[in-house]
Structure 1
Amino acid sequence: MASENKFYPIKIGSALNDSTLKINHTCLRVKDPARTIDFYKKHFGMTVLGSKDFPDAKFSLHFLTFPKDNVGKTEKGETAIFSVSGVLELTHNWGSESDPEFKINNGNEEPYRGFGHICFSVANIEETCKRLESEGVSFKKRMSDGRQKNIAFALDPDGYWIELVQYIKDTEESPRKDVGDKFNHTMIRVKDAEKSLEFYQNVLGMKILRKTDHENAKFTLYFLGYEVPSGHNSSSAEGVLELTHNWGTENDPNFKYHNGNDKPQGYGHICVSCDDPALLCHEIEGKYGDKIQWGVKYNQGKMKNLAFIKDPDGYSIEVVPSYLTL
Structure 2
Amino acid sequence: MLADASATLAATERRPAGPRPGLRVALLGAAAALVVLGFLVVGAFDALALLVPMRVERVAAMVLVGVAIAVSTVLFQTVTENRILTPSIMGFDALYALIQTSAVFFLGSGTVNGLAPPLRFAVEVAAMLVFSFLIFRWVFGGARRSLYLVVLVGIVFGVLFRSLATFMQRVIDPNEYLIVQDRLFASFNAVDPTLLVVCAAVVAVASAWVWSRRRELDVLALGRANAVTLGLEHHRSTMAVLLVCALLVSVSTALVGPITFFGLLVANLAYLVAGTHRHAYVLPVASLLAVVTLVGGQTILEHVFGLDTVLSVIVEFVGGIVFIMLLVRGGRR
> TM-score, normalising length from structure 1?
0.24
Q: Would you tell me which structure has more strand in proportion to its own residues?
A: 1
Structure with bigger RCO (C-alpha 8 Å, 6+ apart): 2
Which of the two has greater helix per residue? 2
Task: Give the TM-score normalised by the residue count of structure 2.
Answer: 0.24
